[in-house]
Structure 1
Amino acid sequence: MSASQLPAKSSAEAAPLAQFQRIRSSRAFDEIAAQIRTELASGRLAVGSRLPSERALSEQFGVSRNTLREALRSLEHAGLIRLQKGARGGAFISQHSGEAIATGLMDMYHVGTIQPAQLTEARIWLESIVVREACRRATPADIDMLNRNIDEAQEARRRGDFAGRAERHIEFHRMLARLTDNPIMVIVMNGVLDVLAHFVQRIGEYDNSFVLPSRRRFMEHFAAGDADAAVAEMESCLKRLQRSYMSRIQAEGVTVAKAAPRARRSPPTAQR
């Protein structure tokens, strides 16, 4: 169930144990956010908890309602709370979806902190971990689901539907991430794949006819439980895709954001 679908709590259930202190810092909204995070970490607030009313909170914190609203908006943007309007509205602790991480990665890409080569490289590293764990956990139903995705991508290719084919390919990797049953891997992979989908859309249609045959070989290894062979096939395909992406950027002059120059640091000493 998504955060937006969580049932609103009644006012009688409005986080009765939360303990807030008066604000003494000039950065009031930062301290308000920090206190709410502390209450959440302590267990006095939980997912679905309704914070006290704006009036009650502003009195407890000793700040104006405008300052309080700024703090609540910052927490909403971070995905920690949701603000609901109406008679049963208020501020509720949300089921964190990882949207803040995905948004942060997308912003880093837009300003040039993440370059395409770094994006595709990180994707290769993460995918190897995902494939190995997904291979260990996959059920016959999961394998059928992945094969159906490949069939759909094949059909999209037959129709000449590049957008549909690209969407199916991206969804294949999201499926693998979900099979790890690890929310951290799902959130991180979804964030990386969101940026990758945006990048692929920018560079436009290109020939990736090698992907579907590779995907079929991958599934043979995956279904047999051969994680090493599945990882090797996936890495080979993704590295070929990376070379294709980089060649297209150079050939077509696709512009990407430039990162601000940074002082070079000496590489860390290897620890043994």
Structure 2
Amino acid sequence: MEFTPVRPTRASSEVISQIREAIFDGRYQPGDRLPTEREMARQFGISRVTVRDALRALEAAGLIEVRVGGQGGPYVSKPDVANLTETLGTHVQLRGTTFMELAEARLGLELMAAGLAAERVTDEELAQLRTLVEGPRLTERESAGELLDFHHLVVAAAHNSALLDMWTACRTLIQEPFDVLHALQPAMAEASNEVHRRFVRALEQRDAELAVRVMREHLSDFADRAEQAFEESRRRKWHAGR
């Protein structure tokens, strides 16, 4: 495909706009190589320096990657949830988003996923979930990680890529405070495992309403425990500093 010449006064932004449009409407697929800098400069009617500036902006946005070597050049990026995680992480830090706000967002995502999973979960996915809830007792740190692995499998069983990408990004942001929370409340892991077993039974029955209800109770209890644990931690630090 050919790009169209751009106005010199807005060259870089128009180059970015045309390349974005070509990617989003499918003219270039993930992994496809874009024209060379020289060829794009010819098509756009601008200098290679301006093309290079536009490509840098597109690379920073995660839309393309510029490779070096014999097969180097600009390529359309393949979907990578790490880009979403990094962008969301920056946004969360700038806004001062709290752990509890992330927990509420997670609640909304997982309730939707729970209902869909009850309708769409495969036998293989059910077997994986059973393995997690029926496996041997783990160490405190392993247990905290495996609890989130369970929820990741639940969201994956909803077979909705948008939900899975958003949840994966959210998981990365809550992982560290989640580990801290489980260190503060070791009994939480066993309580969570019991609820997870109930949830798996709801999936086995293909009962979406029950699955959503169990997940709501579970995550609401988690939020309450988290708030209590962090409040106790703050009080301890305050008394220690007196």
List gaps (5 residues or longer) in structure 2: 236-242
Structure 1-normalised TM-score? 0.76
Give me the identity figure in percent: 25
Alpha-carbon distance in structure 2 between the residues aligned to 1:67 and 1:113 = 36
Change in Cα spacing, 1:122 to 1:241, as seen in structure 2 (3 Å) is same
Q: Which residue does 1:216 correspond to in 2? A: 197
Which residue identity lines up with residue 250 of structure 1 in the other structure? E
- 1:199 aligns to 2:180 (yes or no): no
Match of 2:216 among 222, 235, 240: 235
Change in Cα spacing, 1:204 to 1:108, as seen in structure 2 (3 Å) is farther
Greater percentage in helix: 2
Tell me if structure 1 keeps the 8 A contact 2:3–2:40: no
Tell me if structure 2 keeps the 8 A contact 1:18–1:45: no
Which residue identity lines up with residue 35 of structure 2 in the other structure? P
SS in 2 for 1:82: strand
Tell me if structure 1 keeps the 8 A contact 2:198–2:214: yes
> Offset of 1:204 from its aligned partner?
6.2
Match of 2:112 among 129, 139, 148: 129
Match of 2:8 among 18, 24, 29: 24
Alpha-carbon distance in structure 1 between the residues aligned to 2:140 and 2:180 = 16
Change in Cα spacing, 1:25 to 1:174, as seen in structure 2 (3 Å) is farther
Q: Once structures 1 and 2 are overlaid, which stretch shifts more, 226-235 or 94-103?
A: 94-103
Alpha-carbon distance in structure 2 between the residues aligned to 1:234 and 1:42 = 38
SS in 1 for 2:22: helix
| Residues 26-60 of structure 1 deviation map (CA, whole Å, 9 limit, x = unaligned) | 5x443322110112234332222211112222343
> Offset of 1:136 from its aligned partner?
0.3
Change in Cα spacing, 1:120 to 1:75, as seen in structure 2 (3 Å) is same
> Offset of 1:236 from its aligned partner?
0.8
- 1:100 aligns to 2:79 (yes or no): no
Q: Which residue does 2:238 correspond to in 1? A: none
> Offset of 1:87 from its aligned partner?
0.4
Alignment size in residue pairs: 232
Alpha-carbon distance in structure 1 between the residues aligned to 2:182 and 2:12 = 43
Tell me if structure 2 keeps the 8 A contact 1:18–1:39: no
Match of 1:190 among 168, 171, 175: 168
| Residues 185-226 of structure 1 deviation map (CA, whole Å, 9 limit, x = unaligned) | 111111111112133245561321310111111111111111
Match of 2:140 among 161, 180, 196: 161
CA RMSD in angstroms comes to: 2.3
SS in 1 for 2:128: helix
Q: Once structures 1 and 2 are overlaid, which stretch shifts more, 92-101 or 229-238?
A: 92-101
List gaps (5 residues or longer) in structure 1: 1-16, 255-272
Which residue identity lines up with residue 240 of structure 1 in the other structure? D
| Residues 231-253 of structure 1 deviation map (CA, whole Å, 9 limit, x = unaligned) | 11111111111112122222213
Alpha-carbon distance in structure 2 between the residues aligned to 1:98 and 1:20 = 32
Alpha-carbon distance in structure 2 between the residues aligned to 1:221 and 1:79 = 39
- 1:76 aligns to 2:59 (yes or no): yes
Tell me if structure 2 keeps the 8 A contact 1:150–1:168: no
> Offset of 1:92 from its aligned partner?
1.0
Which residue identity lines up with residue 60 of structure 1 in the other structure? Q
Q: Which residue does 2:92 correspond to in 1? A: 109
Which residue identity lines up with residue 155 of structure 1 in the other structure? R
